[in-house]
Amino acid sequence: MIHQQAGKRPKAQKARLWIGAIFFVWATVAGISHFLTEKGITLPFRTASIDAICPFGALETLYAYLSSGTLIGKIHPSNLVMGLGLTLATLAGGAFFCGWICPFGTLQEWAGKLGRHMLGRRYNHMISQRVDRALQYLRYVVALFFLAWTWAASSLVFAQYDPWRAFLSLAGGEIAVGGIIALAISLVGSLFVERFWCRYLCPMGAVTGLVGKISIFKPRRNAATCISCSACTNACPFHIDVEHVTRVTSAQCNRCLECVDACPVKDTLTIGS
Amino acid sequence: MRLRNSLYIILILTLFLAPMVVSMASDTWTIGAAPLSQRAGTTQGTAMDTSGIKGKDTLGEICSVYGIQKADLLTALGVTTDLPDSAKASDLEAIFAEQGRTWSMDVLRRAVASLIAH
């Protein structure tokens, strides 16, 4: 049964944008408040360091925590707590964090809306699929490089190259040149390619993507009722070939549910175990 | 939105948020942050990284961890008032204000770094 209404944004996408916006506001307020507090501006509430509300910090301190029971500099118990939540969520639902929660992902999507407005149909189709696929491996290199460096140095080296931290530091924190360059590349890149940072460079996306491959819940296609209209593949921001698989196991899938929403046949593309 | 999608979203959000809520409710969210000795980073047994110094750290802790003298630190900061070891780094802000100088934690971090370097 065909159920899609043309031109109407599916409710799942509305929910995703709202949830993303809420986490964006929370993380931004917390980060900026902390910088203001460090500058001596008294606020009616206390906020943790921006580094304390990043689940990637759990991975960064993992070696020190397991080997000596200590946390590396700037890492708090909150990082481990968020890391636990992220692990549970990813094992159950894949890289949901990336598609629904990550504030930097949300920021890139907003940049992408501007890019779509500027470029029309050329948006997200300016790089050949072969080059796109090859570049997607870069984030594994980035992840391995920074985890090895962090574990060896026992300090938060990624902070100097973190585009999200650089974005918040524009409000008054210490400016890291590497982070500002990463931020500029990510936002300018996102004008042309959907979620440029997530797609090619994000070390945490590399990890959640790999763990997501073995997650319980994935988008599943019912081949018996599929009409092979390609709507799902065309809707996927990461160009995953959804219409030719029965389970979406790609490490790039961030569970945005664009494919599920695009499917015109009821109960053909669903989230399932 | 399909019921199945809604349940999926609620389940995953719950799994992500539950540990955070429990941690915040039990007041363990950021309490127990690493002491300065762990935030300092060491090279050949010597504390080198000053970026982890925070306003809550005491002068005694800072001098002990980085192996510097409190008097030298106060001199480097241009502070003539003798402060106890228990004074917090953030207490320097008031002294700077009295002197009409602009305070930021980076001033202290740079002063410590320059003393380590010598």
**pLDDT < 70 stretches in chain B:** 1, 30-35, 38-39, 41-47
The closest alpha carbon to A72, from A157, A188, A144, A166, belongs to A157
Q: What share of chain B is helix, strand, coil (3-state, %, to 5)?
A: 55, 5, 40
- Residue A232 resides in a domain: yes
Would an 8 Å CB–CB cutoff place B103 in contact with chain A? yes
Q: Are residues A100 and A186 in the same domain?
A: yes
- Looking at A190, A212, A234, the residue that finishes a domain is A212
- Judge: B32–A70 Cβ closer than 8 Å, yes or no: no
Chain B contacts of A93, Cβ < 8 Å?
8, 11-12, 15
- Residue A145 resides in a domain: yes
Q: Where are the alpha helices (DSSP H) in B26-104?
A: 36-39, 59-66, 70-77, 92-98
Q: Are residues A113 and A206 in the same domain?
A: yes
Tens of pLDDT, residue by residue over A9-68, are 677 888 999 999 999 998 888 888 777 766 666 666 666 677 888 888 888 888 778 877
Average pLDDT over residues A60-89: 83
Tell which A residues from 60 to 79 touch B, by Cβ distance under 8 Å: 70-78
- Looking at A212, A245, A261, the residue that finishes a domain is A212
- Judge: A73–B106 Cβ closer than 8 Å, yes or no: no
**What letter represents residue A200's amino acid?**
Y
Q: Range of A78's domain?
A: 11-212
Task: Tell me the C-alpha distance between A78 and B12, whole Å.
Answer: 19
pTM of the model: 0.76
Task: Tell me the C-alpha distance between A203 and A217, whole Å.
Answer: 22
* Residue to test with chain A: of B26, B30, B103, B106, most A Cβ within 10 A: B30
Phi, psi of B51, rounded to the nearest 5 degrees = -65, -20
- Looking at A196, A212, A228, the residue that finishes a domain is A212
| Number of cross-chain residue pairs from A and B with Cβ atoms under 8 Å apart | 114
Helix/strand/coil for A269? strand
Please tell me the predicted confidence (pLDDT) of residue A9.
65
Please tell me the predicted confidence (pLDDT) of residue A49.
73
Q: Is A197 exposed, middle or buried (0-12, 13-18, 19+ CB in 10 A)?
A: buried
Q: What percentage of chain A reaches a pLDDT higher than 90?
A: 59
- Residue A94 resides in a domain: yes
Q: Are residues A166 and A187 in the same domain?
A: yes
Whether the per-residue pLDDT at A4 is higher than 60: the answer is: no
- Residue A2 resides in a domain: no
Place A96 in a pLDDT band, splitting at 50, 70 and 90.
very high
- Residue A115 resides in a domain: yes
Q: Are residues A224 and A163 in the same domain?
A: no
Closest chain A C-alpha to B61 CA, distance in angstroms? 15
Domain total of chain A: 2
- Residue A4 resides in a domain: no
Task: Tell me the C-alpha distance between B103 and A214, whole Å.
Answer: 51
Chain A contacts of B5, Cβ < 8 Å?
12, 257, 260, 271
- Judge: B12–A15 Cβ closer than 8 Å, yes or no: no
The closest alpha carbon to A75, from B41, B110, B62, B12, belongs to B41
Q: Are residues A121 and A196 in the same domain?
A: yes
Q: Are residues A92 and A179 in the same domain?
A: yes
Residue A273: closest C-alpha in chain B: B8
- Residue A5 resides in a domain: no
Q: Are B74 and B82 in contact (CB under 8 A)?
A: yes
Q: Are A169 and A175 in contact (CB under 8 A)?
A: yes
Q: What is the ipTM of this complex?
A: 0.85
Average pLDDT over residues A197-225: 94
Highest mean pLDDT, choosing among A155-169, A188-202, B46-60, B95-109: A188-202
Cross-strand pairs, B88: B58
The closest alpha carbon to A13, from A125, A129, A163, A113, belongs to A113
Helix/strand/coil for B42? strand
Q: Are residues A170 and A141 in the same domain?
A: yes
Q: Are residues A49 and A133 in the same domain?
A: yes
- Judge: A85–B15 Cβ closer than 8 Å, yes or no: yes
Distance of CA B99 to the CA centre of its chain: 24
Q: Are residues A179 and A128 in the same domain?
A: yes
Q: Are B5 and A271 in contact (CB under 8 A)?
A: yes
Please tell me the predicted confidence (pLDDT) of residue B42.
62
For B30, the closest of A12, A48, A92 (CB atoms) is A48
- Residue A3 resides in a domain: no
Q: What is the CATH number of the domain that holds A261?
A: 3.30.70.20
Write out the E strands in chain A: 218-221, 269-272
Task: Give whole-number Cα distances, A139 to A47, A58, A97, A159, B40, in Å.
Answer: 31, 18, 17, 16, 29
Closest chain B C-alpha to A128 CA, distance in angstroms? 32
Helix/strand/coil for A209? helix
Q: Which of A170-174, A248-252, B96-100 has the lowest mean pLDDT?
A: A170-174
Q: Are residues A208 and A224 in the same domain?
A: no
Helix/strand/coil for A77? helix
Q: Are residues A144 and A246 in the same domain?
A: no
Whether the per-residue pLDDT at A3 is higher than 80: the answer is: no
Instruction: Name the maximum alpha-carbon separation found in chain B.
Output: 69
Q: Are residues A150 and A251 in the same domain?
A: no
Task: Tell me the C-alpha distance between A58 and A75, whole Å.
Answer: 8
Q: Where are the alpha helices (DSSP H) in A71-137?
A: 77-93, 96, 103-119, 129-135
Tell which A residues from 147 to 186 touch B, by Cβ distance under 8 Å: 153-155, 174
- Judge: B16–A75 Cβ closer than 8 Å, yes or no: no
